[in-house]
Structures are given as structure tokens and as C-alpha cells.
């Protein structure tokens, strides 16, 4: 018979652990941030870039990136956009409600690559939450970086996330923050235009920078182009990929993109490694 | 060491397996096909039956002899036992500010798989890699896998669709089994029996065998060699991995998409296809919830559905995903080839799509283009 | 204090032009400043100028009945505002408004247009460079149109 490792005592990785909603904060018209505390057992500490599978009792499960401070163990922070039945149920959860958590899954932002360099974080839409843990880490170790830049693009002013924190970050001398919206409103006094427009004028030195980019895939493609045009080499640009996920543990096949399983080998990929896959439509 | 078992004593094998508490699952004729069923005696095997397989066609016909295993493969594969179509992962209740989760123990019982083709041994090994070789293991698969006794039967009658020899997975059985049988029909109807594990040796010791003669061993070698020879030239798999990955935009994909019904039959019958999805349900009163693991197919329109869209909305994209996964990217993901050359997908495709021909077409299209 | 032709030559759009060409352009340019809220140009007016923004932010607005002034894009430091002066019918397509205090170099487009008739080489250079500006605006606009942050509904 083939040698088989000891079977797991339980179904383990497919069973959610119970977490209570400690806080629910409404970020904007369709996004909520949940702060979760374990009822009993906790998952392993989650790193920047990783995700959990969040379970709304009886409704279903979705993969949501970590958007909190990785050092605040065991609290989990997840920013969720209400678009479907599961996310709507999660966004409707109130303090005291119980949700299920499986994780942490996936790989992490390579923050070690930023040591001694300038770190450029570019987020589009709901791409800012997955970058926030990296930003928290960067702020906590700011003296190890040569620079820190946050470039963020949203759809309209009312879609922007973490506006209060953005103002706090912008007020610091050691962080530069650029924000733009695709379409302004009557009260908007800031930039209007796509987030890629913030790149040519941003103050980082491409010869000594690394960039982490998250957003809709097309936004990441255009952003990558703009970063490359500024002289940032593809080996120093990382993006976060997304595909349909069901199990989150590499056993169901759904998150395949060509040769890679996003839940297992990603979601963080270096640009030069993932570009060939991005270029094949419907891969 | 090899032993010889007279065909009339095959029942002793069944007896020895059942005496050890194994339920015996093997081939049987049902509804015009050779499928897997629970068996109690050799007479229930497809004695004297063979299969005729063509792209999109599967028929049974009578042999002129009483061979027990004189066919190639049927639509079922052992994944129905090791990765059942539906498995309850857990049930849960909301309880005092928490979740009470109950994980039912695996429903696995000790089972002897009788009639495992060498290509199927390879398929089981491939699925072992997927479910047991990664960071996360599938506990149900692991439980069932450790409860299994494998009785392989080498191939004497490959179908016209078999290409195990091109894939290096048969027709002879070399490892991964507890016992391996080769059916010999010349002269006395008998089986050459080899043990492949200590468990196999223990069972072998209980059988009324005699040591195999030189002639028996040679005869079984000839059976396997003849089966391999019958497959010559059927599939050119040379460099297929890079061939497919170089030709992701080949017009061949458009052509096959015209014929493919996206029905997913190929994924159902393929012994290595393993995609599943997770079904979350709740009771009407919302008090209890459950999660099941259910077979899925990458041909399903919903397979690549993501909030607000679908990353593979066309049949072309889904067919390409299936074939490139099977023959190319599987290796990147799991370190083994994905296809064992059993030919099931070709027989059971209602449109008669033959993956060997599709690979050939992609190769030809690439060559034509190069010389254009 | 850097001269106008140096400032112009540092801008990516004009980089690589010959010294004489830069001198000519500088001759057609002058430093201007706007307070927040000032209008630089109005939609529909004849377009005889363009601006190289040195500091500040300029909004390109369009008036939409029922919705008022809508900003389609903002243009910041180092960017060019205005290509309508170079292409017929030489009319502004949007209204330019200083969002915050703006300092820019304003160019006499009519004067440059006249010179280009006589100097096809300079004409070619400017048209190529301004095409680049227009193409970049088009790419950005297309990306905006795709509404990629929407939830796909």
C-alpha cells in the first residue's frame, strides 16, 4: 500500500473556528470592517497579505484579506464589501454575533524586500484593505525604510475607504499619500483621474523602491505599466491575485490560474513571474 | 516471488479478503457497461465480456472465452470510493455565543479494490499526491486510502483508446499494489499472482497457489508486451507540456469548442480529475448548518464565477483549461503528469472528442504556422 | 532663478527639443498665477493658449444640465493643460478651474501656430509630443470609463 501520513484528527482545515464580532465599523456605503475575537481556539497569527475564509452561519464562506495590524494577535480585522449573500450577511453582523473563520491561508507581502528601500503601496478601490497590514508594519518599522508612499484610487469620494486614517497618514512627515477618484463630486477638492496618474509625479526613486499593488486586475496591469515606465524593475513589483475560491487549501481546484494555485502559491506574486499568465485572456 | 492461482480458485481470494474484514468492490456488468459494484464471488465478475470503445462510443460484447478480466476499463474509476461524490464535512449549531461543530467520522470501511488496472494504480498515486502530499491533507481521503487493499489486474485486452504505454502507466503493474494478477488464458485458465506489500504477502499465503513456473512468468510477460504493442503510435506525448503552453491561442481550441458540449462527462469518468466544491446549507429554521464536499467540474459555467463576473465564460476557455491542466500545468502544480492514458474521456464524450487527436492538431497547426 | 526655456526643456513633453526651439517657445510663454477657484479658460471659448502647470492643481470641468459642473479630470504639477489650440476647431472642450493656487507657464498658442506654418520641423516635433499627451489622456479616460472599481453589476 502507498505510505500515507497520519490522517488529520479532524477535518481540520475545512472546519471553521468560532469568532465573535467585537466591533463592526461602517467604512462607507457598502463596506464594513469587522474586528473578530476567538470564542475558544484561535487560528495561527495572520500575516500581511494573507487571507481567511469567513463563514456566515448557514449562508456560506468567502475569502477575505487580512486588513488589520498583524501584531494585534489574536484579533482579526477584515474589511468586507457587501456584494453577495455571504458578504451581505457578514456586513450585517453586529457585535456579539458569531462568524466562522478558517485560515490563515496564502503567502505574505515580502516586506523584507523593502528594507533599506522605499516602499510604494498602490491600492485601487477595495485594494487598500489588503495593503493596510503591510502599511502598519512599515509604519512600525519606518526607520528601516528609505521612504514610504501610499497611492490610492477610488471610484468616487463616497467609495473611499479609511478616509480618517488616510488623513492621519498624510499628516505624518515620513509618509507621502496621494489619493484620487475616477469621478469627483461637488465637494471634492482633490485629484480626479485614474490612480496610475499619481505615479509619474510621485516622489519615490525607482532605482531604490519596491511596490505592492492591489486592485481589480486591469487596474493592476495599468499600474504595473506605469511603474515600469518610471523605471521600477518587474522583480520589485508585487501584486495580489484573485480567483474563485472554495476550499482555500489547494484541494478543490477552483483557484487555478495556469500552473499556479492562488490559495496555495499566492495570492502575492512577483510581477515578472505572473505577467505571462495575465496576458492570456480567460486563462 | 510469483505464484500461480488456478482460475477456479479465484473464490479463495474473495474468501481471504472477506475473512480479513474487507468489503470487496470490483467490476460487474450492469446496464450494458462494466461498472464497480460490491461483489461476493467471482461469478459476479464480467466473465466472458469485453468492451469495444471508440470516440464517443462504448459497447460490450461477448468474448469467445471465459476471461474474468478480458476488457479494458469502464466508466467508473476508483475515485468514487476514495473521493466519494458527496461527503459531509461537518454539521454545526449556534450555541451560547459560539459554534458547536460536529465532524462526523469518515464513513470509510476496509475495502478491497479488485481489478485495479495499472493505469488506475497510477491514477490513485496521482490523487495521493494531491490529497496527501501538500501542506493541507484531505482527512476523508486519507482515512479511506489507509483502509484500502489493492488487487491489481494487468491488461490483456486494451481498447483502441488506451494509451497507457505512451504515458508510462501500463499495461504492466510494477508498484503501488498489494497483489497483482495477470490472467493467462492459454492452456489452463490461471492467474500469475505477485505480492507487492506485506499485507499482500499475508493474503497470498492463504491462497491455494503453487509456485509459478518459468512458462507462467514468460506467458504473463507476453500478455503485457502484446497489450503494449497494440497501442503503438496512438499518442505522441513528446514535449506535450510545453507544446500546449506555447499554443494557448491556437485556433484548434476554437475548433474543438465548436464540438464540445461542456457537459463535463470527461471530468466525471477521468480517474484523476478531483475538483470539488463546497456546499453550505442550513435547516429551514436556521438553527443547524452543514457543509458538504461535492464533486464539481471545471466545465460547469459556474466553476470560475467570481463576484460580478466569470473568468472563463466560454466553452473554449473551459476546454482549454481542462486539457492544459490535465496534460501540462498539473505537473507544475503537483509534480506529476495528470493523464494516465486510460481513454475514458474519449469513449464517454458525447461529441467523440479525442484528446490524442487534439494534441496532434495543435502540433500540426504549430508546424504549419512555422512554415507559413 | 531658472529661465523659462530651461524650465520648459525639463518637462518630459518638451525634452530633447533643440535650444533654439526651446528659446522660441519660451518667447511665447509667460509665468502666470491663479488663486483657488479662478477660471483659466471656459468651455467653448476659442483655444489660443495652453499651460504647463508648475505648482497646484487644475480641474477640467464640464457643465452637465441637472448635475452642474462635473470634474472629468484634474491636472497637476509637471503636466500640460490644453491641446485644443493645436487641433481644429481650436476651441476649449472643457472649463479649466484652479482647485488650489496654481502657478503655470502660459503659452501663446496662436503665435506658435503661426510659426509652425513656416517651420514644419518644429511643427512635427510639437505634434508628436502633443499626440503623446492626448494618447495618455485617452488611456486614462478609457480606464475611468471601464469603472473597474464598480462591482460588476
Q: C142: distance to nearest CA of chain B, Å?
A: 20
* Residue A249: closest CA among B132, B107, B99, B324: B132
Beta strand A51-56 with A31-38 is unpaired
What is residue B49's three-state secondary structure? strand
Count Cα neighbours of B199 within 13 Å in the Cβ-side half-sphere: 19
Kind and range of the H or E element at C75?
strand C68-75
Beta strand B148-153 with B179-184 is parallel
Nearest to A184 among C71, C140, C147 (CB): C71
* Residue A119: closest CA among A227, A12, A17, A14: A227
Nearest to A155 among C77, C99, C149 (CB): C149
Instruction: Give contacts of A182 with chain C, Cβ < 8 Å.
Output: 144, 147, 149
Cα–Cα distance list, C124 to A225, B120, B157, B365, C120 (Å): 27, 70, 77, 45, 6
DSSP string, A91-124: HT--TT-EEEEEEEES----GGGGTTSEEEEEEE
Least confident of A48-57, A250-259, C87-96: C87-96
Determine the pLDDT at residue A1: 33
What is residue C102's three-state secondary structure? strand
Low-confidence ranges of chain B (pLDDT < 50): none
Instruction: Give contacts of B101 with chain A, Cβ < 8 Å.
Output: 15-16, 18
* Residue A48: closest CA among A119, A91, A99, A106: A106
Whether residue C146 lies within 8 A of chain B, CB to CB, comes out as: no
Which residues of C fall below an 8 Å CB-CB distance to A? 57, 59, 68-74, 76-79, 99-100, 139-140, 143-144, 146-151
Are the Cβ atoms of C149 and A154 closer than 8 angstroms? yes
Q: A209: distance to nearest CA of chain B, Å?
A: 31
Q: How many CB pairs under 8 A join A and B?
A: 164
Diameter over CA atoms, chain A: 72
Contact C140, A145 (CB under 8 A): no
Determine the pLDDT at residue B96: 76
Residue B49 has φ and ψ, to the nearest 5°, of -105, 150
Instruction: Give contacts of B309 with chain C, Cβ < 8 Å.
Output: 152
pLDDT class for A11, splitting at 50, 70, 90? very low
Beta strand A209-214 with A118-124 is parallel
Q: B309: distance to nearest CA of chain C, Å?
A: 7
Beta strand A209-214 with B57-62 is unpaired
Question: What DSSP state is assigned to residue B326?
Answer: I
Instruction: Give contacts of B131 with chain A, Cβ < 8 Å.
Output: 251
What is residue B360's three-state secondary structure? helix
Instruction: Give contacts of C153 with chain B, Cβ < 8 Å.
Output: 308
Neighbouring chains of B at 3+ CB pairs under 8 Å are A, C
Are the Cβ atoms of A159 and C149 closer than 8 angstroms? yes
Determine the pLDDT at residue A250: 93
- Residues 6+ away with beta carbon under 8 Å from A209: A117, A118, A119, A120, A147, A232, A236
Give the residue-averaged pLDDT of C1-20: 87
Question: What DSSP state is assigned to residue A196?
Answer: G
Kind and range of the H or E element at B227?
helix B214-229
Q: State how far Cα B73 lies from the chain centre.
A: 9
Average predicted confidence (pLDDT) for chain A: 93
Q: State how far Cα A104 lies from the chain centre.
A: 13
Q: B289: distance to nearest CA of chain A, Å?
A: 5
Q: A193: distance to nearest CA of chain C, Å?
A: 5
Strand ordering across the sheet containing C39-41: C39-41, C95-98, C58-64, C68-75
Are the Cβ atoms of C78 and A186 closer than 8 angstroms? no
Determine the pLDDT at residue A62: 96
Are the Cβ atoms of C151 and B309 closer than 8 angstroms? no
* pTM of the shown model: 0.90
Q: A131: distance to nearest CA of chain B, Å?
A: 20
Neighbouring chains of A at 3+ CB pairs under 8 Å are B, C
Determine the pLDDT at residue B372: 62
Instruction: Give contacts of C140 with chain A, Cβ < 8 Å.
Output: 193-194, 196-197
Which residues of A fall below an 8 Å CB-CB distance to C? 30, 81, 83, 124-126, 153-155, 159, 180, 182-184, 186, 188-194, 196-197, 200-201, 215-216, 218-219, 222
Cα–Cα distance list, B251 to B56, B274, B358 (Å): 23, 28, 11
* pLDDT reading at A10 higher than 50: no
ipTM exceeds 0.85: yes
Are the Cβ atoms of B146 and A7 closer than 8 angstroms? yes
What does the pLDDT look like over B89-131, one tens digit per residue?
A: 999 998 877 888 898 888 899 999 999 999 999 999 999 999 9
State the best of B304, B305, B306, B308 to mutate against chain C, taking most chain C CBs within 10 Å: B308
Q: How many CB pairs under 8 A join A and C?
A: 69
Determine the pLDDT at residue A236: 98
Dihedral of CA atoms A249, A254, A256, A262 in degrees, nearest 10, equals -40
Percent of chain A residues past pLDDT 70, beyond the cut: 96
Determine the pLDDT at residue C146: 86
Give the residue-averaged pLDDT of A154-171: 96
| Beta-sheet strands, E only, within chain A | 17-28, 31-38, 51-56, 60-65, 76-81, 98-105, 118-124, 147-154, 176-181, 191-192, 209-214, 237-240, 256-257, 260-261, 268-270
Q: How many CB pairs under 8 A join B and C?
A: 7
Q: B27: distance to nearest CA of chain A, Å?
A: 21
What does the pLDDT look like over A57-101, one tens digit per residue?
A: 999 999 999 999 999 999 999 999 999 999 999 999 999 999 999
CA atoms of B14 and B144, how far apart (whole Å):
20
Amino acid at each position: 500500500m502507498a505510505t500515507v501520513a497520519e490522517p488529520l484528527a479532524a477535518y481540520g482545515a475545512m472546519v471553521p473556528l468560532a469568532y465573535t464580532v467585537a466591533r463592526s465599523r461602517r467604512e462607507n456605503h457598502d463596506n464594513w470592517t469587522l474586528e473578530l475575537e476567538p470564542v475558544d481556539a484561535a487560528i495561527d497569527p495572520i500575516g500581511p497579505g494573507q487571507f481567511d475564509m469567513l463563514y456566515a452561519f448557514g449562508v456560506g464562506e468567502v475569502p477575505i484579506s487580512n486588513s488589520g495590524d498583524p501584531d494585534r494577535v489574536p484579533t482579526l480585522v477584515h474589511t468586507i464589501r457587501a456584494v453577495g449573500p455571504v458578504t451581505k450577511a457578514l456586513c450585517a453582523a453586529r457585535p456579539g454575533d458569531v462568524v466562522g473563520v478558517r485560515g490563515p491561508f496564502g503567502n505574505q507581502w515580502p516586506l523584507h524586500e523593502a528594507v533599506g528601500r522605499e516602499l510604494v503601496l498602490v491600492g485601487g478601490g477595495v485594494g487598500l484593505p489588503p495593503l493596510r497590514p503591510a502599511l502598519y508594519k512599515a509604519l512600525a518599522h519606518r526607520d528601516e525604510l528609505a521612504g514610504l508612499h501610499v497611492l490610492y484610487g477610488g471610484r468616487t469620494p463616497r467609495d473611499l475607504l479609511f478616509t480618517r486614517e488616510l488623513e492621519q497618514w498624510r499628516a505624518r512627515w515620513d509618509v507621502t499619500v496621494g489619493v484620487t477618484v475616477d469621478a469627483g463630486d461637488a465637494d471634492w477638492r482633490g485629484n480626479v483621474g485614474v490612480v496610475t496618474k499619481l505615479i509619474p509625479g510621485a516622489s519615490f526613486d525607482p532605482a531604490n523602491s519596491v511596490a505592492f499593488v492591489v486592485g481589480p486586475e486591469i487596474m493592476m496591469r495599468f499600474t504595473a505599466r506605469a511603474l515600469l515606465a518610471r523605471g521600477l524593475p518587474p522583480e520589485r513589483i508585487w501584486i495580489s491575485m484573485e480567483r474563485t475560491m472554495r476550499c482555500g487549501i489547494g484541494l478543490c481546484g477552483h483557484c487555478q490560474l495556469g500552473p499556479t494555485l492562488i490559495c496555495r502559491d499566492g495570492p502575492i506574486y512577483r510581477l515578472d513571474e505572473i505577467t505571462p499568465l495575465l496576458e492570456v485572456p480567460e486563462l | 516471488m510469483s505464484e500461480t492461482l488456478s482460475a477456479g480458485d479465484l473464490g479463495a481470494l474473495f474468501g481471504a479478503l472477506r475473512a480479513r474484514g474487507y468489503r470487496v468492490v470490483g467490476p460487474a456488468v450492469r446496464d450494458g457497461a462494466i461498472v464497480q459494484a460490491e461483489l461476493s464471488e467471482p461469478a459476479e465478475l464480467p466473465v466472458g465480456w469485453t468492451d469495444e470503445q471508440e470516440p464517443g462510443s462504448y459497447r460490450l460484447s461477448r468474448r469467445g472465452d471465459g476471461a474474468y478480466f478480458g476488457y479494458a476499463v469502464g466508466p467508473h474509476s476508483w475515485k468514487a470510493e476514495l473521493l466519494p461524490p458527496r461527503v459531509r464535512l461537518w454539521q454545526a449549531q449556534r450555541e451560547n455565543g459560539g459554534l458547536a461543530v460536529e465532524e462526523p467520522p469518515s464513513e470509510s470501511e476496509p475495502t478491497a479494490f479488485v481489478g485495479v488496472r495499472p493505469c488506475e494504480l497510477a491514477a490513485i498515486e496521482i490523487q495521493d499526491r494531491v490529497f496527501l502530499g501538500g501542506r493541507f491533507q484531505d482527512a476523508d481521503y486519507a482515512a479511506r486510502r489507509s483502509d484500502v487493499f489493492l488487487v491489481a489486474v494487468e491488461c490483456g485486452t486494451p481498447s483502441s483508446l488506451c494509451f497507457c504505454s505512451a504515458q508510462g502507466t501500463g499495461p504492466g503493474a510494477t508498484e503501488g499494489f498489494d497483489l497483482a494478477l495477470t490472467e493467462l488464458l492459454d492452456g489452463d485458465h490461471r492467474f500469475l499472482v505477485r505480492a507487492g506489500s506485506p499485507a499482500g504477502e499475508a493474503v497470498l499465503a492463504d491462497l491455494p497457489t503453487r509456485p509459478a513456473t518459468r512458462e507462467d512468468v514468460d506467458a504473463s510477460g507476453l500478455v503485457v508486451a502484446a497489450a503494449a504493442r497494440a497501442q503503438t503510435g496512438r499518442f505522441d506525448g513528446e514535449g506535450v507540456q510545453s507544446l500546449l503552453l506555447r499554443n494557448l491561442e491556437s485556433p484548434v481550441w476554437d475548433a474543438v469548442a465548436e464540438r464540445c458540449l461542456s457537459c463535463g462527462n470527461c471530468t466525471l469518468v477521468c480517474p484523476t480529475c478531483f475538483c470539488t466544491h463546497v456546499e453550505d446549507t442550513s435547516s429551514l429554521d436556521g438553527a443547524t448548518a452543514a457543509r458538504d464536499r461535492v464533486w464539481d467540474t471545471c466545465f460547469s459555467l459556474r466553476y470560475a464565477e467570481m463576484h460580478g463576473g466569470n473568468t472563463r465564460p466560454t466553452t473554449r476557455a473551459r476546454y482549454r483549461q481542462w486539457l492544459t491542466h490535465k496534460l501540462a500545468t498539473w505537473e507544475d502544480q503537483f509534480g506529476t503528469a495528470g493523464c494516465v492514458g486510460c481513454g475514458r474521456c474519449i469513449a464517454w464524450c458525447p461529441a467523440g472528442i479525442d484528446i490524442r487527436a487534439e494534441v496532434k492538431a495543435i502540433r500540426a497547426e504549430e508546424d504549419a504556422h512555422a512554415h507559413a | 532663478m531658472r529661465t523659462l526655456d530651461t524650465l520648459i526643456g525639463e518637462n518630459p513633453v518638451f525634452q530633447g527639443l533643440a535650444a533654439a526651439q526651446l528659446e522660441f517657445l519660451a518667447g511665447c510663454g509667460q509665468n502666470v498665477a491663479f488663486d483657488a477657484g479662478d477660471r483659466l479658460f471656459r468651455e467653448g471659448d476659442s483655444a489660443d493658449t495652453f499651460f504647463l502647470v508648475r505648482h497646484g492643481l487644475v480641474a477640467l470641468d464640464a457643465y452637465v444640465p441637472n448635475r452642474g459642473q462635473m470634474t472629468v479630470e484634474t491636472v497637476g504639477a509637471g503636466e500640460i493643460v490644453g491641446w485644443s489650440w493645436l487641433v481644429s476647431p481650436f476651441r476649449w472642450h472643457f472649463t479649466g478651474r484652479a482647485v488650489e493656487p496654481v502657478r503655470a507657464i502660459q503659452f501663446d498658442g496662436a503665435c506658435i501656430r503661426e510659426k509652425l506654418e513656416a517651420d514644419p520641423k518644429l511643427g512635427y516635433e510639437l505634434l508628436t509630443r502633443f499626440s503623446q499627451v492626448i494618447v495618455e489622456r485617452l488611456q486614462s479616460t478609457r480606464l475611468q470609463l471601464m469603472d473597474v472599481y464598480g462591482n460588476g453589476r
